Amino acid sequence: MAAHTEPTVLLLTRSDVASLISISACIDAMEEAFRTHANGGSFGIGMIHGERDHVEWHLKSGGLELPTPVYALKANSASFLNPQRFGLPSIMGAILLFAADRATLLAIMDSTVITIQRTAAATAVAARALARADSCRVTVIGAGRQARAHVLALHEVFPAASFVVSSRNPDHAVALAHELSTREGIPTRSDGDARTVCEGADIIVTCTPAREPVLKSDWIQPGVFVAAVGADSPDKNEIEPALFGRARVITDITAQCAAVGDLHHAVDSGVMSVSDVHATLGEVLAGTKPGRVSDQDIILYDATGSAIQDAAATALVYEAACSEGRGTSMALWS
């Protein structure tokens, strides 16, 4: 990784970040990050969650032993009332990137695009590893920015697939399907009924802020790959716990999923214990544990978003910024 001249720090805005990261490069970076983690090449992983009224915060930190080791610290706030009340994004935050071998702060950058891209990219990595190879029908429950990113990412790894998006707000689903079909050229339709769009699906992704399940166990047929993406705080819950009892469960970070993911609700309901988790995604990618064994397996990937993803994606952006001369250098300690 190119080193920025000390003691300056590189400041990257949201538009900078958006222009420096591609979904295809992010998918490759996420696969490397999870495999590195499984092989013992991560360190200092932590998370703090806080809430007040309709606002929640989380801090995630973690490092990776990349060719140049890096450490990322992300602070995000979320309020899904922001767009209506203040005309602001529902999620806002920043990431600090450090050179781990020199304890040097390299960059401060907007976290929104990175969070969206690395989340969708990780789902694409998981789907490529765990969904049936002949998967061709993808359902995304949710119609926000994360849903859009997931269609783009999954289209990268399943280019022949067709997509359907569903939302509690049908107008949002219609608008997203139209935009993806016309602007991105990805065959996408919309349907407001979540149960209907799960019929015949090979891959199902939930990316909502729901606090009650939006996906029921009896909607899921053998062979389906489910990615539960939205639950990243203790009160969020997208997946009916009974599905965990039918599925081979894979996590991004098991301890984190047991604290704030849909796994948390499955354990609390007595459907399974943490020890029943089959593997982490990294273990599957590293080949230390098997993923899909049969075409009849229901695979449930519980993803809460990890700091190793932030570290990998932020390092990717930083390298591109240094190469292209982007961003603003600040003498923060002068």
150, 100: one domain: no
105, 188: one domain: no
Query: What was the pLDDT predicted at 227?
Result: 98
Share of the chain above pLDDT 90, in %: 84
280, 222: one domain: yes
pTM of this structure = 0.93
Active-site residue, from 74, 216, 236, 289: 74
CATH of the domain at 22: 3.30.1780.10
How many domains in the chain? 2
22, 91: one domain: yes
Does residue 4 fall inside a structural domain? no
Query: What was the pLDDT predicted at 79?
Result: 81
CATH of the domain at 274: 3.40.50.720
What domain range is 315 assigned to? 9-114+308-330
Does residue 232 fall inside a structural domain? yes
What is the average pLDDT value for the chain, to the nearest integer?
94
Query: What was the pLDDT predicted at 302?
Result: 98
Query: What was the pLDDT predicted at 6?
Result: 53
Share of the chain above pLDDT 70, in %: 98
108, 239: one domain: no
Exposure b/e, 226-259, CB count within 10 A at least 16 = b: bbbbbbbbeebbbbbbbbbeebbbbbbbbebbbb
Asked if 319 and 1 touch (Cβ cutoff 8 Å), the reply is: yes
270, 156: one domain: yes
Does residue 156 fall inside a structural domain? yes
167, 252: one domain: yes
Kindly state the average pLDDT of the residues 152-175.
96
Does residue 1 fall inside a structural domain? no
Does residue 295 fall inside a structural domain? yes
Does residue 223 fall inside a structural domain? yes
125, 27: one domain: no
Tens-place pLDDT, residues 284-325? 999 999 999 999 999 999 999 999 999 999 999 999 999 999
279, 160: one domain: yes
Does residue 47 fall inside a structural domain? yes
Give me the residues paired with residue 163 across strands: 138, 188
230, 92: one domain: no
Query: What was the pLDDT predicted at 276?
Result: 97
The rounded distance, in Å, linking the Cα atoms of 128 and 280 is: 15
Does residue 3 fall inside a structural domain? no
Question: Which residues make Cβ contacts (< 8 Å) with residue 252, sequence separation at least 6?
Answer: 34, 122, 280, 281, 301, 302, 303, 304, 305, 306, 309
Question: Which residues make Cβ contacts (< 8 Å) with residue 116, sequence separation at least 6?
Answer: 145, 146, 149
Q: What is the DSSP string of 110-123?
A: E-HHHHHHHHHHHH
- Is 60 exceeded by the pLDDT of residue 328? yes
210, 258: one domain: yes
74 is annotated as an active-site residue: yes
Which comes out higher in pLDDT, residue 334 or 118? 118
Write the burial class of residue 197 (CB in 10 Å: 0-12 exposed, 13-18 middle, 19+ buried): buried
132, 267: one domain: yes
Tens-place pLDDT, residues 37-96? 999 999 999 989 888 888 888 899 999 999 999 999 999 987 877 777 888 777 789 999
